[in-house]
Amino acid sequence: MRVEASERSVRLWIRRWTVRRLSCICEAIVLSLTPATGKDGRRRSECLRGA
């Protein structure tokens, strides 16, 4: 029982991390296509730091 619960939590963590990573990549692509000024530039740096 305990092992199954830990496996499930690990899978959820990996899925959450992957989704966050993919959204960061997509956001970086969108921001690279548009001129980065002000908030956009800051958001990109935060995203790259987190990845």
Query: Residues 43, 27: contact at Cβ < 8 Å?
Result: yes
Q: What is the pLDDT of residue 51?
A: 47
pLDDT at 5: 87
Q: What is the pLDDT of residue 12?
A: 96
- What pTM did the predictor assign? 0.47
- For residue range 1-51, what is the model confidence (pLDDT) as tens digits? 577 889 999 999 999 999 999 998 888 888 788 765 555 555 555 555 654
Q: What is the pLDDT of residue 22?
A: 93
Q: With helix as H, strand as E and coil as C, how does the chain read? A: CHHHHHHHHHHHHHHHHHHHHHHHHHHHHHHHHCCCCCHHHHHHHHHHHHC
**Domain span at 44:** 2-50
